[in-house]
Protein backbone atom coordinates (compact mmCIF):
# COMPACT_ATOMS: atom_id res chain seq x y z
CA UNK A 1 0.00 0.00 0.00
CA UNK A 2 1.25 3.46 -0.92
CA UNK A 3 1.34 5.75 2.10
CA UNK A 4 0.93 9.46 1.38
CA UNK A 5 2.32 11.88 3.95
CA UNK A 6 1.16 15.48 3.77
CA UNK A 7 2.94 18.40 5.36
CA UNK A 8 2.48 20.60 7.15
CA UNK A 9 -0.63 19.46 8.98
CA UNK A 10 -1.70 23.08 9.36
CA UNK A 11 -0.65 26.14 7.42
CA UNK A 12 -1.51 29.56 8.87
CA UNK A 13 -1.43 32.27 6.24
CA UNK A 14 -3.07 35.56 5.36
CA UNK A 15 -5.15 36.31 2.25
CA UNK A 16 -2.87 37.22 -0.63
CA UNK A 17 -0.01 35.05 0.59
CA UNK A 18 1.39 32.07 -1.26
CA UNK A 19 0.60 28.57 0.03
CA UNK A 20 2.86 25.60 -0.59
CA UNK A 21 1.57 22.16 0.39
CA UNK A 22 3.58 18.97 0.20
CA UNK A 23 2.61 15.34 -0.40
CA UNK A 24 5.21 12.59 -0.22
CA UNK A 25 4.57 9.00 -1.35
CA UNK A 26 6.19 5.95 0.23
CA UNK A 27 6.94 4.64 -3.26
CA UNK A 28 6.73 6.04 -6.74
CA UNK A 29 3.24 6.84 -8.00
CA UNK A 30 4.60 8.23 -11.26
CA UNK A 31 2.32 11.22 -11.93
CA UNK A 32 -0.92 9.53 -10.84
CA UNK A 33 -1.65 12.00 -8.10
CA UNK A 34 -4.60 14.29 -7.45
CA UNK A 35 -5.35 17.12 -5.07
CA UNK A 36 -8.77 17.76 -3.54
CA UNK A 37 -10.13 20.67 -1.56
CA UNK A 38 -12.72 20.19 1.16
CA UNK A 39 -14.57 22.90 3.04
CA UNK A 40 -16.56 22.26 6.25
CA UNK A 41 -19.84 20.48 5.57
CA UNK A 42 -19.05 20.01 1.89
CA UNK A 43 -17.94 17.15 -0.30
CA UNK A 44 -14.39 17.18 -1.63
CA UNK A 45 -13.69 18.98 -4.91
CA UNK A 46 -11.11 17.84 -7.45
CA UNK A 47 -8.50 20.53 -8.05
CA UNK A 48 -5.56 18.85 -9.78
CA UNK A 49 -5.16 15.49 -11.51
CA UNK A 50 -2.14 13.73 -12.96
CA UNK A 51 -0.01 15.86 -10.63
CA UNK A 52 -0.20 19.07 -12.63
CA UNK A 53 -3.44 19.34 -14.61
CA UNK A 54 -6.14 21.65 -13.31
CA UNK A 55 -9.62 20.18 -13.25
CA UNK A 56 -12.48 21.89 -15.04
CA UNK A 57 -13.29 25.29 -13.59
CA UNK A 58 -10.34 25.46 -11.20
CA UNK A 59 -8.72 28.91 -11.05
CA UNK A 60 -5.21 29.39 -12.38
CA UNK A 61 -3.89 30.35 -8.93
CA UNK A 62 -3.92 26.61 -8.14
CA UNK A 63 -1.00 24.65 -9.57
CA UNK A 64 0.48 21.23 -8.99
CA UNK A 65 3.92 19.85 -9.61
CA UNK A 66 6.06 16.82 -8.96
CA UNK A 67 6.39 13.21 -9.98
CA UNK A 68 7.53 9.95 -8.46
CA UNK A 69 7.38 10.47 -4.71
CA UNK A 70 7.35 14.24 -4.12
CA UNK A 71 4.47 16.50 -5.03
CA UNK A 72 3.49 20.08 -4.34
CA UNK A 73 0.25 22.02 -4.51
CA UNK A 74 0.77 25.77 -4.76
CA UNK A 75 -1.85 28.45 -4.31
CA UNK A 76 -0.20 31.56 -5.68
CA UNK A 77 -2.27 34.15 -3.82
CA UNK A 78 -4.79 32.98 -1.25
CA UNK A 79 -8.37 34.12 -1.67
CA UNK A 80 -10.78 34.02 1.30
CA UNK A 81 -12.55 31.01 -0.20
CA UNK A 82 -9.32 28.99 -0.34
CA UNK A 83 -9.12 28.42 3.40
CA UNK A 84 -9.99 24.75 3.63
CA UNK A 85 -8.47 21.28 4.00
CA UNK A 86 -6.50 19.84 1.10
CA UNK A 87 -5.93 16.14 0.43
CA UNK A 88 -3.69 14.36 -2.01
CA UNK A 89 -4.74 11.01 -3.51
CA UNK A 90 -2.78 8.47 -5.50
CA UNK A 91 -4.30 6.50 -8.34
CA UNK A 92 -1.16 4.62 -9.35
CA UNK A 93 -2.22 1.34 -7.77
CA UNK A 94 -4.89 -0.25 -5.64
CA UNK A 95 -5.62 0.23 -2.84
CA UNK A 96 -6.21 3.88 -3.60
CA UNK A 97 -4.91 6.04 -0.77
CA UNK A 98 -5.33 9.58 0.49
CA UNK A 99 -2.94 11.69 2.50
CA UNK A 100 -3.92 12.85 5.95
CA UNK A 101 -4.69 16.38 4.80
CA UNK A 102 -3.33 19.89 5.24
CA UNK A 103 -5.55 22.52 6.78
CA UNK A 104 -4.98 26.01 5.40
CA UNK A 105 -6.24 28.44 8.00
CA UNK A 106 -6.44 32.19 8.26
CA UNK A 107 -3.60 33.70 10.25
CA UNK B 1 -25.99 18.93 -14.27
CA UNK B 2 -24.45 15.89 -12.61
CA UNK B 3 -26.23 14.76 -9.45
CA UNK B 4 -25.27 11.98 -7.09
CA UNK B 5 -27.72 11.32 -4.29
CA UNK B 6 -26.75 8.86 -1.57
CA UNK B 7 -29.25 7.18 0.71
CA UNK B 8 -29.55 4.25 3.07
CA UNK B 9 -27.44 5.44 5.96
CA UNK B 10 -28.55 5.25 9.55
CA UNK B 11 -27.90 3.79 12.97
CA UNK B 12 -27.05 0.10 13.08
CA UNK B 13 -25.75 -2.20 15.80
CA UNK B 14 -22.30 -3.77 15.60
CA UNK B 15 -22.49 -6.87 13.45
CA UNK B 16 -25.45 -5.54 11.52
CA UNK B 17 -25.90 -4.74 7.84
CA UNK B 18 -26.86 -1.79 5.69
CA UNK B 19 -27.14 -1.18 1.97
CA UNK B 20 -26.25 2.24 0.65
CA UNK B 21 -27.53 3.52 -2.66
CA UNK B 22 -26.34 6.32 -4.90
CA UNK B 23 -28.78 7.55 -7.54
CA UNK B 24 -26.98 9.19 -10.46
CA UNK B 25 -28.31 11.64 -13.02
CA UNK B 26 -27.05 14.20 -15.50
CA UNK B 27 -24.53 11.91 -17.20
CA UNK B 28 -24.34 8.52 -18.93
CA UNK B 29 -23.92 6.41 -15.82
CA UNK B 30 -22.84 3.25 -17.63
CA UNK B 31 -19.87 5.07 -19.18
CA UNK B 32 -18.11 5.84 -15.91
CA UNK B 33 -16.45 3.89 -13.16
CA UNK B 34 -17.65 4.82 -9.69
CA UNK B 35 -16.24 4.90 -6.18
CA UNK B 36 -17.23 4.96 -2.54
CA UNK B 37 -15.14 7.11 -0.19
CA UNK B 38 -15.82 7.57 3.51
CA UNK B 39 -14.93 10.08 6.18
CA UNK B 40 -15.12 9.34 9.88
CA UNK B 41 -16.30 12.26 12.04
CA UNK B 42 -13.53 14.86 12.23
CA UNK B 43 -11.12 12.69 10.24
CA UNK B 44 -9.69 12.53 6.74
CA UNK B 45 -10.85 10.83 3.58
CA UNK B 46 -10.62 7.06 3.19
CA UNK B 47 -11.15 5.28 -0.11
CA UNK B 48 -13.49 2.30 0.27
CA UNK B 49 -14.17 0.73 -3.12
CA UNK B 50 -14.17 1.13 -6.91
CA UNK B 51 -16.29 -0.50 -9.57
CA UNK B 52 -15.73 -0.53 -13.30
CA UNK B 53 -18.23 0.73 -15.86
CA UNK B 54 -19.76 -2.70 -16.47
CA UNK B 55 -19.44 -3.83 -12.87
CA UNK B 56 -17.20 -6.72 -13.79
CA UNK B 57 -14.19 -5.35 -11.89
CA UNK B 58 -14.30 -4.34 -8.25
CA UNK B 59 -11.65 -3.21 -5.77
CA UNK B 60 -11.74 -2.80 -2.00
CA UNK B 61 -9.76 -1.30 0.83
CA UNK B 62 -8.28 -3.96 3.10
CA UNK B 63 -10.35 -2.57 5.98
CA UNK B 64 -13.63 -3.58 4.29
CA UNK B 65 -12.62 -6.52 2.10
CA UNK B 66 -14.82 -9.53 2.70
CA UNK B 67 -17.47 -7.45 4.49
CA UNK B 68 -18.52 -4.85 1.91
CA UNK B 69 -19.71 -5.43 -1.67
CA UNK B 70 -19.93 -2.75 -4.31
CA UNK B 71 -22.32 -3.19 -7.23
CA UNK B 72 -24.21 -1.19 -9.80
CA UNK B 73 -27.37 -1.37 -11.86
CA UNK B 74 -26.77 0.55 -15.06
CA UNK B 75 -30.41 0.20 -16.06
CA UNK B 76 -31.37 2.10 -12.91
CA UNK B 77 -28.40 4.50 -12.87
CA UNK B 78 -27.69 3.41 -9.33
CA UNK B 79 -24.57 2.47 -7.38
CA UNK B 80 -24.75 0.30 -4.25
CA UNK B 81 -22.63 -0.60 -1.26
CA UNK B 82 -23.73 -3.62 0.74
CA UNK B 83 -22.14 -3.43 4.18
CA UNK B 84 -22.15 -6.51 6.42
CA UNK B 85 -20.57 -7.29 9.78
CA UNK B 86 -20.41 -3.62 10.58
CA UNK B 87 -18.00 -2.36 13.22
CA UNK B 88 -17.79 0.83 15.23
CA UNK B 89 -14.86 1.93 13.07
CA UNK B 90 -17.13 1.89 10.01
CA UNK B 91 -18.96 4.92 11.41
CA UNK B 92 -18.53 7.61 8.79
CA UNK B 93 -20.07 9.78 6.14
CA UNK B 94 -20.11 7.72 2.95
CA UNK B 95 -19.71 9.53 -0.35
CA UNK B 96 -20.25 8.14 -3.80
CA UNK B 97 -18.08 9.69 -6.48
CA UNK B 98 -17.87 9.60 -10.26
CA UNK B 99 -14.75 8.82 -12.25
CA UNK B 100 -13.48 11.78 -14.28
CA UNK B 101 -12.42 10.19 -17.56
CA UNK B 102 -11.40 6.59 -17.03
CA UNK B 103 -8.46 7.73 -14.93
CA UNK B 104 -9.85 7.06 -11.49
CA UNK B 105 -9.92 10.63 -10.31
CA UNK B 106 -13.24 11.64 -8.80
CA UNK B 107 -14.63 14.80 -10.37
CA UNK B 108 -18.18 14.67 -9.00
CA UNK B 109 -19.26 13.78 -5.48
CA UNK B 110 -22.54 13.34 -3.67
CA UNK B 111 -23.24 14.98 -0.33
CA UNK B 112 -22.87 11.73 1.57
CA UNK B 113 -24.97 9.51 3.78
CA UNK B 114 -24.10 8.99 7.43
CA UNK B 115 -23.60 5.51 8.83
CA UNK B 116 -23.40 5.15 12.59
CA UNK B 117 -22.47 1.80 14.10
CA UNK B 118 -23.28 1.73 17.78
CA UNK B 119 -25.11 -0.32 20.36
Could you give the CA distance from residue B66 to residue B71 in angstroms, rounded to a whole number?
Answer: 14
Residue B101 pLDDT exceeds 90: no
Of B47, B59, B104, the CB nearest to A98: B47
A91 touches chain B (CB under 8 A): yes
- Residues of chain B found within 8 Å of residue A43, distances taken between Cβ atoms: 95, 109-112
Mean residue pLDDT of chain B comes to: 97
Of B45, B60, B103, the CB nearest to A44: B45
Of B59, B60, B109, the CB nearest to A43: B109
Condensed to tens digits (0 to 9), the pLDDT of residues B52-99 reads 999 999 999 999 999 999 999 999 999 999 999 999 999 999 999 999
CB-based contact A45 B100, cutoff 8 Å: no
- Residues of chain B found within 8 Å of residue A46, distances taken between Cβ atoms: 100, 105-107
Strand, helix or coil for residue A31: coil
Residue B102 pLDDT exceeds 90: no
- Residues of chain B found within 8 Å of residue A91, distances taken between Cβ atoms: 103-105
pLDDT of residue B60: 98
Bond from prior residue into A2 cis (ω within 30 degrees of 0): no
Instruction: Mark out the alpha helices in chain B (DSSP H runs).
Output: none
* Count, residues in chain A: 107
Condensed to tens digits (0 to 9), the pLDDT of residues B9-60 reads 999 999 999 999 999 999 999 999 999 999 999 999 999 999 999 999 999 9
Q: Exposed, middle or buried: residue A41 (CB in 10 Å: 0-12, 13-18, 19+)?
A: exposed
CB-based contact A94 B95, cutoff 8 Å: no
Residues in contact with A4: Cβ distance below 8 Å, sequence separation at least 6, in sequence order: A23, A24, A25, A26, A88, A89, A90, A97, A98, A99, A100
A3 touches chain B (CB under 8 A): no
pLDDT of residue B103: 86
Could you give the CA distance from residue A37 to residue A86 in angstroms, rounded to a whole number?
Answer: 5
Enumerate residues 35 to 94 of chain B having a beta carbon within 8 A of any beta carbon in chain A: 35, 37, 44-47, 50, 59-62
pLDDT of residue A82: 98
Could you give the CA distance from residue A3 to residue B112 in angstroms, rounded to a whole number?
Answer: 25
**pLDDT digit string (tens) for chain A, length 107 residues:** 999 999 999 999 999 999 999 999 999 999 999 999 999 999 999 999 999 999 999 999 999 999 999 999 999 999 999 999 999 999 999 999 999 999 999 99
Give B42 to chain A, closest Cα distance, Å: 10
Amino acid sequence: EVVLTQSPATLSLSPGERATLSCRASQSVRNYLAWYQQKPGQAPRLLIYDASNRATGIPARFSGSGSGTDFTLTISSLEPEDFAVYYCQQRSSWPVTFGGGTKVEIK
Amino acid sequence: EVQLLESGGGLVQPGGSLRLSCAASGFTFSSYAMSWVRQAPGKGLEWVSDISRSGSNTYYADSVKGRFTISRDNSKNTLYLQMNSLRAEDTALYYCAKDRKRDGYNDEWGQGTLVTVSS
